[in-house]
Amino acid sequence: MLSRDCIDWVREHLHENPSELLLKYAGKELPFPLKEGVLQVECRRRCASKIPSFLRQDSFRFADLLCSEQASHEAVARYHAQLAAPGARLLDMTAGLGIDAMTQALAGAVVTAVELDPARAEALRENAAVTGAEMQVVCGDSVEYLKNCPENFDLIFIDPARRDSGGRRTYSLADCTPDVLTLMPLLLSKCKRLLIKASPLLDLKQVCRDVPQCTSLRVTSAGGECKELLIEAEAGGSLREIVAVDIDRHGTVHEFFSSPAEHTAPRYSSAPGRYLYEPSPSLMKTAPWGELCARFKGLTKLDVSSHLFVSEELLPGFPGRTLRIESIPDKAALKALKGKKINVVSRNHPLTPEQLRKKYGLLSSAQADLFLYATRIAGRPNLLIARMV
């Protein structure tokens, strides 16, 4: 548990560089270990935008740097909690920092969280107490715990470590620890539903081959970035739905459901319309282009590989970025853009955004609402200038 002196020191130095703090206080006598204080500063800085609600607790403690890096975004953890009914008996087999486990407990689930590392398990007990998350924390091997546990669970949640013994990143389910593919018979025999948090880089078709009991695939994004692939499975199950999940900066969840049984072909356009649409990161991964065109009447795709869409009339509720097309710039118009702040997006175009900025002398700005889109229309490279709606 963090001492009051350490908590006060961390608050005082929260905006300072951790490496400089180590040098600044080296050899000085402090009422707590210097490395402990610097660790808390570094972890809090890294997680400031990821788990702000938890960090409102001054005594929230990090056991190590890696658990802060691997922790779930709190908005994603809240989405996970929505997938479990209040009162559900839940086992988190890879608790780590415990953001998912604590969020589930705070939402009303009866949680047992298992963590192999003693220091992390102890930190989780402390953090659960200060956040008011009532849950059981078990320090030990979660696979052995599950084998010897007399009860079954409504839901098992597992986030296998995506690093090998040398600390290198891994992605395939078979290379993660624990190996959920080998453990699948045990896992499915001990729960009604299984949720596996996996890398968003995995191929969805390969996941279905690896986990034939998969019932749902959810690609989840927060803050415009793909965070995970959530695989739901149950004994005797088969794939029923693929869901693109986007969580906006307000924490609101937007879901686009598609059926693996549907094979609707998208409509294509030979010319740009008045409005341009760029699908969200999760939608880019799930790629339900035919269903997207079917649900948004008048929506057409610019090219087979561009994954950009247009319409003549504004289509509210599109899951992604919506822009009004201002022009197809000629050479004079492109020359006039030199020195202007403009976002550049390249989709299926010969030039990268960096090459386009250099070629036309453009300045980048994440705050600008003006965009230069480089893409293909009916197979031919084109540039579009568009502004956010």
Cα 223 to Cα 26, 76, 93, 279, 382, distances in angstroms: 38, 10, 27, 14, 29
Residues 188 and 300 in one domain: no
Distance, CA of 370 to CA of 63 (rounded, Å): 44
Q: What is the mean pLDDT of residues 160-186?
A: 84
Mean pLDDT estimate for the chain: 94
Distance, CA of 264 to CA of 289 (rounded, Å): 8
Q: What is the mean pLDDT of residues 367-382?
A: 90
Residue 34 lies in a domain: no
Q: At what angle do helices 99-106 and 74-82 cross, to 10 degrees?
A: 50
How would you classify residue 92: left for phi > 0, otherwise alpha for psi between -120 and 50, otherwise beta? beta
Residues 235 and 295 in one domain: no
Residues 363 and 251 in one domain: no
| pLDDT value for 279 | 96
- Cα R_g (the chain), whole angstroms: 24
- pLDDT tens profile 235-275: 999 999 999 999 998 889 999 999 887 768 899 987 888 99
Cα 68 to Cα 35, 120, 137, distances in angstroms: 16, 11, 18
Residue 229 lies in a domain: yes
Residue 364 has pLDDT above 90, yes or no: no
Distance, CA of 383 to CA of 374 (rounded, Å): 5
Closest CA to 137 of 151, 152, 121: 121
Distance, CA of 63 to CA of 70 (rounded, Å): 12
Amino acid occupying residue 52: P
Residue 292 lies in a domain: yes
Residues 140 and 209 in one domain: yes
| pLDDT value for 7 | 97
Residues 297 and 216 in one domain: no
Residues 251 and 281 in one domain: no
| pLDDT value for 169 | 76
344: phi then psi, degrees, rounded to nearest 5: -120, 125
Q: What is the mean pLDDT of residues 353-364?
A: 94
| pLDDT value for 164 | 65
Size of the chain, expressed as the number of residues it contains? 389
Residue 39 lies in a domain: no
| pLDDT value for 10 | 97
Residue 205 has pLDDT above 90, yes or no: yes
Number of domain units in the chain: 2
Residue 31 lies in a domain: no
Residue 381 lies in a domain: yes
Give the rounded percent of residues in the chain with a pLDDT score beyond 90.
87
| pLDDT value for 273 | 87
Closest CA to 336 of 354, 372, 361: 361
In this prediction, residue 368 has a pLDDT band, given cuts at 50, 70 and 90, of: confident
Residues 117 and 245 in one domain: yes
Residues 120 and 249 in one domain: yes
Residues 323 and 223 in one domain: no
Residue 379 has pLDDT above 90, yes or no: no
Distance, CA of 53 to CA of 118 (rounded, Å): 25
Residues 287 and 381 in one domain: yes
Residues 222 and 281 in one domain: no
Residue 166 has pLDDT above 70, yes or no: no
> pTM, whole model, 2 decimals?
0.90
Q: What is the mean pLDDT of residues 188-203?
A: 96
Residues 248 and 302 in one domain: no
Task: Return all residues near 106 (Cβ < 8 A) that are at least 6 apart.
Answer: 81, 131, 132, 133
| pLDDT value for 366 | 74
In this prediction, residue 167 has a pLDDT band, given cuts at 50, 70 and 90, of: low
CATH number at residue 110: 3.40.50.150
- pLDDT tens profile 51-66: 999 999 999 999 999 9
Q: Which H or E run includes 178?
A: none
* Beta carbons of 202 and 214 less than 8 angstroms apart: no
- pLDDT tens profile 73-130: 999 999 999 999 889 999 999 999 999 999 999 999 999 999 999 999 999 999 999 9
Q: Among 223, 258, 293, where does a domain finish? A: 258
Distance, CA of 386 to CA of 327 (rounded, Å): 7
Residue 177 has pLDDT above 70, yes or no: yes
Domain that holds residue 310: 275-388
Residue 25 lies in a domain: no
Residue 86 lies in a domain: yes
